[in-house]
Chains A and B, each alone.
Chain A
Amino acid sequence: MDAASHLGVVVDLSPTHWYLSSTRTQHNARPLSLKSFLSHLLVFLNSHIACKDENTLAVFGVLPGRSIMLYSSTSESSGNPLDKADANTYRPFKVLDATVMRTIAEHVENLGPSDLEIPGELVGALTKSLCHINRITTTSSAHANGQTASIDPRILILSVSPDQSLSYIPIMNSIFSAQKLRVTIDVCKVYGSESVFLQQAAHLTGGSYLHIDRADALLQYLTMSFLPPPGIRQLLSVPTQDKIDFRAACFCHKRIVDIGFVCSVCLSIFCQPVPVCSTCRTKFPIKTLQRLNAARPAVTTPTAAATPYIRSPASLPSSNAIKVGAVNGSQAAARNGLR
Chain B
Amino acid sequence: MPSVNLNADPITDSEWSPHILLAFLQSQSQTALTRLYHKPSSCLSVFRLLRPLERQLIMNLLWLESTIPMSTMSAWVTQEGKKPYDDSLSTLARLHIIPKSTTKLALNATFRTSLRQAITGGGTTGSFGVPAEPDPQHPPPDIATLDAYALERWETILHYMVSSGTGQHPTKPSQEVLFLLQRSGLMTKTRGGVLQITSSGFQFLLHDPHAQLWELLLQFLHMAEERQMDLVEALSFLLMLSTMELGLAFATENLSPTQNAMLADLRNYGLIWQYDASARQFSPTRLATTLTSSSPPLPTSRNTGAGSHDQGFIVLETNYRLYAYTDNPLQIAVLNLFVTLKARFPNLVVGAITRESVKKALANGITADQIISYLTTYAHPQMRKNKPLLPVTVQDQIRLWELEKNRVKSQEGYLYTAFASQQDYEYVLDYAKKLDVVLWENPTKRCFFGSLDGHANIRGFIERRTAEKA
Contacts and interface: CB of A to CB of B under 8 A. Distances in A.
A144 B310 contact: yes
A47 B119 contact: yes
A104 to B, nearest CB: 18
A308 interface: no
B18 to A, nearest CB: 12
Contacts of B381: 144-145, 147
Interface residues of A, number: 44
Interface string B40-68: 11001001100111011001101110000
Interface in B231-264: 243-245, 247-248, 254
Contact of B77 (A1, A50, A223, A237): A237
Interface string B61-80: 01110000000000111101
A50 B81 contact: no
Contacts, number: 141
A332 B122 CA distance: 52
Interface residues of B, number: 60
B64 A89 contact: no
Contacts of B310: 144, 148
Secondary structure dominating the interface of B: loop
A220 B52 CA distance: 18
A224 B292 CA distance: 24
A196 interface: no
Interface string A87-102: 1111101100100000
Interface in A1-53: 1-4, 43, 46-47, 50-53
B123 interface: yes
A124 interface: no
Contact of B118 (A50, A220, A237): A50
Nearest to B123: A88
Nearest to B243: A90
Given A1-B294, A88-B40, A228-B52, 19 more contacts: A47-B59, A50-B44, A51-B48, A86-B128, A87-B254, A88-B121, A89-B128, A90-B128, A91-B243, A91-B244, A91-B245, A147-B384, A223-B63, A231-B10, A234-B10, A235-B14, A235-B53, A235-B84, A237-B77
30 contacts: A47-B119, A50-B44, A50-B48, A51-B48, A53-B48, A53-B292, A53-B294, A53-B295, A84-B131, A85-B245, A87-B127, A89-B128, A90-B118, A91-B128, A91-B243, A93-B121, A144-B311, A144-B381, A146-B384, A148-B310, A220-B63, A220-B64, A223-B62, A224-B60, A229-B52, A234-B78, A235-B78, A235-B80, A235-B81, A235-B85
Closest 8 CB pairs of A and B: A235-B81, A53-B293, A89-B121, A145-B381, A87-B126, A231-B10, A85-B131, A87-B130
